[in-house]
Structure 1
Amino acid sequence: MKRQSGFGLPEMLMVVVVIGILAALGAPAMQDFIANQRLKSTSSDLFTSILRARSEAIKRNKDVSISPSTNWNTGWSIPSPNAGEPALAIFVTRPSITVAGPAAGVTFTAAGRVKGDANPQFSLTASTGKASCIRIDLGGRPNVQPTSC
């Protein structure tokens, strides 16, 4: 009788144990990676929303604002400057991300400048403690910094 070659049960169990150990070691790093990617994505969404609100104000020659849903942690929207029209954009904040910004939102004039005399800023923080800050100058140009405000 010829003996068959292949893997036996002890070898297969050893492979499963090694894979389990490697997965257990990599899980915390993966959670940090996911939280940091959520922070980057939310920061990018907010940045592009600010740019879109500014460009819509210039294009429509009207004041356009970006305002929080109930608060910035739940999301934000760019309402249409024309009454009765649907919102230009609506965004939802990703889980485990905290967003803080001006309570009344930010309004851009027809010239693309920020309405008011203060520089608005948004603070974004991930559950891992990593933070990002978006500041808008009075000229209406946003700037992202990878640090807290």
Structure 2
Amino acid sequence: MQRERGFTLIELLVTIVVLAIVVAVAAPNMSTFIVSQSVSSQSSELLNALAFARTEATKLNANVSVIPATNSSSGWSNGWCVGPTDMANCTSDNVIRNFQSASSGVQITAPYLQSANRLTFRRDGTLLSGVSAQAFKITSPKLEATGTKARCIYIGAIGKASYKKVNRDDDC
């Protein structure tokens, strides 16, 4: 007599139940991972933009600015651009490079930039005279629920940028 091959209904149901339990346990960890990666990705993007602007300033032997894409309250979260200091906004013809807006739910603020709301590198790669060290904070409202750290990007007076993980509510 030939034996039948395949799964029984009971075996199939047990497999589906075990799979459902594994997915239920993994789903919260996945959302934490996604929020963390979004904040980390935006931090890297902004660090790259600052390094690019500093390099362009020395390469062009001219002052180069990084400005937010819009002057609204969400300013830096809507993206930013790099260009000469006389650039009025990110739609000007002389923009060197545009950077995309932040991932959904990621907020970028520059609490210490004065009313000019721009960061300017001199031709030697240092921050423009009279501008002290600056900071950007990259965070998300979802961070508190996930326990993920926010990021602060610091730009020293010599123009070098670095970042550090901080609690969501901490100042940079």
Query: Taking structure 2 as the reference length, what is the TM-score of the superposition?
Result: 0.79
SS of aligned partner of 1:72: helix
Instruction: Give the whole-Å Cα distance in 1 for the aligned partners of 2:139 and 2:95.
Output: 30
What is the CA distance between 1:90 and its match in structure 2? Answer: 2.1
What are the superposed Cα offsets for residues 61-87 of structure 1, whole Å, 9 maximum, x if unpaired?
111111111201111111356873344
What are the superposed Cα offsets for residues 34-66 of structure 1, whole Å, 9 maximum, x if unpaired?
110111111001001000001101111111111
Superposed counterparts of 1:54-133, under 5 Å: 54-70=54-70, 71-80=75-84, 84-101=93-110, 102=113, 104-115=117-128, 116-126=130-140, 127-129=142-144, 130-133=149-152
Instruction: Give the whole-Å Cα distance in 2 for the aligned partners of 1:120 and 1:56.
Output: 19
For the aligned residue pairs, the C-alpha RMSD in angstroms reads: 1.8
What is the CA distance between 1:141 and its match in structure 2? Answer: 0.6
Superposed counterparts of 1:46-57, under 5 Å: 46-57=46-57
Amino acid at match of 1:94: S
Amino acid at match of 2:81: S
What are the superposed Cα offsets for residues 107-128 of structure 1, whole Å, 9 maximum, x if unpaired?
1111111113321100111322
Amino acid at match of 2:138: L
Instruction: Give the whole-Å Cα distance in 2 for the aligned partners of 1:54 and 1:74.
Output: 21
Superposed counterparts of 1:4-23, under 5 Å: 4-23=4-23
Number of corresponding residues: 149
Q: Percent identity?
A: 32
